[in-house]
Structure 1
Amino acid sequence: MNSLRRTLVLSLLGALVLVFALGGVATYRMAHSEIDALMDYNLRQFALSLRDRRFAGPNVAPLAPPEESLDLVIQIWDDTGVRLYLSHPHTALPARAQLGYTTVTTSEGDWRVYSIPLLDHVIQIAQPMAVRSRLAATAALRTLIPLIALTPLLGALIWFLVGRGLRPLERLAREVATRRADSLDALPLAGIPDEARPLVRALNELLEQLRHAMSAQRAFVADAAHELRTPLAALQIQLQLCERARDDATRAAALGELRTGLGRATHLVQQLLTLAREEPGEGVAARRERVVLAELARKSLADHAALAGERGIDLGAELLDDGLATMGEAAALRTLAGNLIDNAVRYTPRGGRVDVSVGQDEGRYWLRVDDSGPGIPPEERERVLDRFYRPAGQEESGSGLGLAIVRSIALRHEAPIVLNASPLGGLRIAVGFRPAV
C-alpha cells in the first residue's frame, strides 16, 4: 500500500536522522578541536612544571611516574643528548625531540608531542591522539543522546501533524466518493491547501468537460431520435401502402418508394454512426501517419465519380500539389474529403461543376472544394456545420450530418474550416492542415 502519510513520515524522519548524523560529525570535529587546544595547553603546562627539577647528580630524588589515567609519557634528555628519564620504557616514541608541538606516527598510533628546552635539559611530554578522539566522541555522543531519545516522540508528532495536514484531502476524497454519477458541480476550493488547489482546479476542469460532453451527448441523442422519427414514420406508411396495393403496378411503385426510404434511413444511420465515431475524445485515437493531401483528394474524386456522372456534374481537380502532406488519421481524413465532395455534388444542380484543389497559404496546406451550386448566405455559413442543420429552401434530401462530421474530424486535427463564396458561383469550403514535420 502506497501511503502518502507513511511516505512523508519516513522521509521526514530520514531527513532528521541525516541531520542528526551530520550534526554529530560536526559536533565531534568541534569537540576534537577544542580538546586539542585544551590538551596542548595542558602538555605545555605540565612540561613547564618540571623546569625546576634536577634529574641527575647525587641526592636527586627520582621523578615519580605520572598516573596512568593521565595517559602521558615523559622523556628528559641532558644537553649532551643522553636520555635521563622515560616514564614508560616500552612506549615507541622517537629517541630525539623536535621542539614545539608535533604529531608523531608510531606503531602504537599517532601521538601529540610537546618538547621544550629548560635550563640544561630537554623535556618532552607525549599523549596518544586516541585519548583525544575518545573524549571528542564521548562529548558528541552526550550531545546527541537526548535527540536520539526524542526520535520516537518526533516520529509520533510528525505522524500527527502530517495526518492533520492531509485532512483536507481526505475530506475532498470523501466528497468525491459520495457524489452521484450525474453530479458534476465544481468542487469547493474553500479550506483546500495551496499545494492541493491545482489538483482541485484540474478536477473541476475535468468535471466541466464531462458536463459539456454529457450535454452534447443528450443533445445528440435527442436530435438523432427526432431525425429518425420522420424517416421511420415514412417507412411505416410506405409499408402500409404496399400491404394495401390491389395490383402489381401499385405494389411495385410502393416497393420503390419503400426502397428509397430505406436507403435514406440507412444513410442517416450510417452518418449518425460516423459522427459518433468521429466526435473528439470518442474511442481510441487512431495512429497518425503521413498523409499526402493530393493522393487523398484523388481517391475521394474516384469514389464519387459515379455519383457525379449520374447527376451530370463535372467533377475534377483544379490543382493538386503532391508535395503537401500532413500528419493525421488516414481513414478519418478520407471521410472528411469524401463528405466535402459528396456534399458539393449533391447540392449542385445538374450540369454544374465541382472542383477540388490542394494548395499552400499562410503556413497551412489547404484542401478546397468549390461548387457552382446555389451557395449559402454569409449569415448561415457557420450554422451549416451544426448537426442536422439544413438551410431553408433546400430541395435535395439529406441528413444534415455531412459537414458536422467534417467539423468533428477537423477539430481533432486542429484544422480550421473556412467557408466563402466560390469563383464558380457557389460555395467554397476549405480545410487548413498543419504541414507534416
Structure 2
Amino acid sequence: MLHSLQARLAVALAVGLAALSLLVGAAAFHVLQDEIDRISDSALQETAQRLVPLAVTDILDLNTQGSTGQRVAAVRAHDELLTYIVRDQTGKTVLQSHDADPGVFPADLKAGFTSTASHRIYTETVLQGTVLLAVAEPLVERRHVSTRAALAVIEPLLVLILFGLVGTWLIVKTGLRPISLFCEGVASRGRDDLTPLAKAGMPTEIEPIADAVNDLMQRLDRALSAERSFTANSAHELRTPIAAALAQTQRLVAEAQGTPIEQRARNVEITLQTLVRLSEKLMQLARAEGAHVLSDIVQDLRPVLQLVVDDVRRIARSNQLALTQPDEPVLSRIDQDAFAILARNLIENAVKHGTDATAVRITLTSGGTLSVRNRGPIVPSETLARLSQPFERGTTTAKGSGLGLAIVNAIAQAAGARLTLGSPAAGMPDGFEAAVEGLAIPDSPPVFRERVR
C-alpha cells in the first residue's frame, strides 16, 4: 500500500498516461490497418484493370495459335506478390502468371473483391463476361505490413511512455515541494518554538493547513504559558508565607525545648522545609519548560560547572565530589543559569541517593557530555524508564520531590540535548549514572575557543 501522497499521485498519473497512450496506440493501429487494407485493395484493383487489355491481347493470340492454359514467362526469376489467372466463359483457365496457383482462385468468382482464408482477390470481367481476370494477393503479406506498421507505432509510443513516467514523477515531486518544505519547517522547529509559520510563496491549497497549524500553535502557546505562569507564580507566592511559617516554627522549636510540644514543632519544621524545597523545584521546572534555555552568546561550560560543584561541596560539607573537565573550553549556547540548574540537580541527586562515604564522579567531556555517577544499589530498568517524569521516584529512603531528573530532562530537551540514565554505572559493578549528551556546539570554530580563553 502506498502511504505517500507523492507516490500515489505519481502512480495514478503514470498509469493513466500509460493507459491513455495504449488506447491512442490501439486506435491509431486500427486506423492504420483500415488504411493499409484500403490502399492494398486499390492497388489490387488498379493492377487488375491494367492487366485486362494485356490479357485480352494474349488470349486472342493464343486462340489464333490454338493454345490454352499458357503461363506467362517471367523476365527473370522472382517471387510474385500478386498472381493472376484468366478464364473463359466455360471457366477454363486460358492464361496465368508464372507463379499462379489455380487452386487459390475459387471456381465461382464474380466481379469485385473476394476474400478467402489465405488471399484477397479482385475480379474483372470483359468482352461481355466471356473473359474473367482475377488477381490475388496473399493475406500474410498484409499481416507483415500491419506488423511493421504496429511496431512503427509502438516503438515511439514506448519511448513516450517512458519519458512520460519520468516527467510525471518530476512534475508531481516539484508540485508537492511546497508541502515538503512546510513539513520540514514544522519538523525543524525547536521544542519551545511556537511562533507562526511563514506562508510566503505557499500554494493556495496549503494555506488553510498552515492557518490551522498556526492557530493550533497559538492556542498551545497560550495554554503552556498559562501553565508555566501558574506554576512559577504559585511557587514564588508560596515562598514568602512558607518562609515566614518556617521562621515562626524554628522560633517555636527554640522556645519549646524540653517541653512535650518540642517534637511536634520539629515535625512541622521538617514539613515546611520540604515545602521550601518543593517550591524551589517547581520554579526550576517552570524555568526549564520555558523558552529561555538557549542564549545568543556562546560561552564556556567549565566555570559554571566548577561553581556548582564548589557550592554543593560547601552545602553538603563533603569532599567526595570528583570533578573531571577538559583543558580546552566546552562551548555551548545553553544559558548559564539553565546549565547551573541542570548540573546542580544531577549532582544533588547523586549525593542524596548515593552510598555514604563514596565519591560522586562528575565528568564534562570536550564533546559536550556531562555525566554524573555514584555508587549504590542497581536501579531496575523499568524504574529507569520513568525516573525522568515529574514526581517519579525509585525505591529510596532519601528525601526528595521527584522533580530533579524531570527538570534536567526538560532543560536538556529545550537545549537540543538528550538525557540518558543507566544502572549499573559505566565502569562500576553497581551504582547509577545520568548523562546529558549534546550540550556543546559541534565543530566549534577556533576563533570562539581563542575568544573564550
What TM-score do the two structures reach when normalised by structure 1? 0.46
